[in-house]
Structure 1
Amino acid sequence: MNEIEQLLDRVAAKARETRPWGWDSLPEPVGAETVARAEAMLGFRLPPLLAALYSRVGDGGFGPEYGLLPLLDGPPRGEPAAVEQYLANRGSGEKDPDWPWPAGVLPISHWGCGMYACVDCHSADATVLLFEPNAGEAAHAWYVDAPSLPDWLRGWLDGTGWYEESNGETEPAPWPDFTARTAPR
């Protein structure tokens, strides 16, 4: 079994055992047609590991803090699903050019207070970014949460993510690509 398969097995096991805030149960995984429909709506492909999380583990409801957002259908708390949130964020950048949302950066988990963990679907490693809008301006609202989606998942599984109380001194680094990724072309 390769490393990604082992990681998926670990995530699935923990997802069956724990519930993030607001989730009563682990939703069923989505089918390939739902992933394809989401990708068509987004205009880009999901990283293979992210697609596997949704199609093999569950349609959200697991992961750190409030857990992964569902892919297309809103969670029980009434928040938008990942695709809906992405499309809304991209549209809000058109309305407010001071707060552009980078293309291909999919919100996957809500942290509260407007903060999201997001996967950069255009990066080779599926970098996980932290969007922290309370910073006051868009250029200072983006951080590298984890260099890759596998690293982000391992941080949750092992209790080593920056958000863990035991890691009070650990802070994400600013995302250096924000300006280049949001500049008009």
Structure 2
Amino acid sequence: MTENEQQLLKRVAAEARNTRPSGWTSLPAPVEAATVTCAEASLGFRLPPLLAALYTRIGDGGFGPEYGLLPLLDNPPTGEPAAVTQYLANRESGSKDPDWPWPEGVLPMSHWGCAMYACVDCRSSEATVLLYEPNADEADHAWYVDAPSLADWLRAWLDGTGWYEDYDGAPEPTPWTDFRIRTTAPAS
């Protein structure tokens, strides 16, 4: 983990101790490294190091923008499924409805309401944060790049410059052009 990421974790930890998203009464304890290992085994891929550090150093969800980060494995007090549970359900649902596939390696990490999620692309080297907006007419128009990296997404939250804030300078999320590539099985 870089020095910049270490500093970012300190800022996130300070904000997490002092604010609580809707539905959370307290900051959950961090998870053990074994919980991250179990989550990765269930998912079939590794979590980006910064995301794993959020869970192991700060708390098992309950901090971040809007409704906050989802817990990794256990159901939160808000009644939302945990991140791993939501990912597995979305992949299963997408396998039954080919018009709305869920991309492999894209972990829902925060609920925005109205079935929208902030998701981290665990296959991208920067841990790109994607916005899933299922209220679109078709799946190709439901995915946007929210931030080029998880670090950028966290900074936007801390600085109050995310698109979800009442901030005139916030960039609009751009369409995620890799959606079909990541949801189409290679030809045999």
TM-score norm. by structure 2 comes to: 0.96
CA positional deviation for 1:179: 1.0
1:2 alignment partner in structure 2:
3
CA distance in 2, matches of 1:10, 1:129: 22
Higher deviation after alignment, 84-93 or 167-176? 167-176
- Which residue is equivalent to 1:76? 77
Residue 11 of structure 1 is matched in structure 2 by 12
Q: Is the 8 Å Cα contact of residues 27 and 59 (structure 2) preserved in structure 1?
A: yes
Q: Alpha carbons of 1:155 and 1:32: their partners in 2 closer, same or farther (altered >3 Å)? A: same
Superposed, 1:137-176 pairs within 5 Å as 137-167=138-168, 170-176=171-177
Please report how far the alpha carbon of residue 171 of structure 1 lies from its aligned counterpart in structure 2 after TM superposition. 1.5
C-alpha distance in 1 between matches for 2:6 and 2:30: 16
Provide runs of 4+ in structure 1 moved above 2 Å. Answer: 167-170
Is 1:129–1:175's contact at 8 Å kept on the other side of the alignment?
yes
Matches within 5 A, 1:1-185: 2-167=3-168, 170-185=171-186
SS at match of 2:167: helix
| C-alpha distance after superposition, 1:2-35 (max 9, x if no partner) | 1111000000000000000000000000000000
Distance 1:16 1:92, change over 3 A: same
Tell me the amino acid that sits aligned with residue 136 of structure 1.
D
SS at match of 1:134: coil
Q: Structure 1: 5+ residue runs without aligned partners?
A: none
Q: How many residues align?
A: 185
Unmatched 5+ residue regions in structure 2? none
| Percent identity of equivalent pairs | 75
State the TM-score, normalizing by the size of structure 1. Answer: 0.98
Please tell me whether the aligned partners of residues 161 and 167 of structure 1 are also in contact (alpha carbons under 8 angstroms): no
Root-mean-square deviation (Å): 1.1
**Contact kept in structure 1, 2:162 and 2:170, CA below 8 Å:** no
1:163, distance to aligned residue in structure 2 (A):
0.7
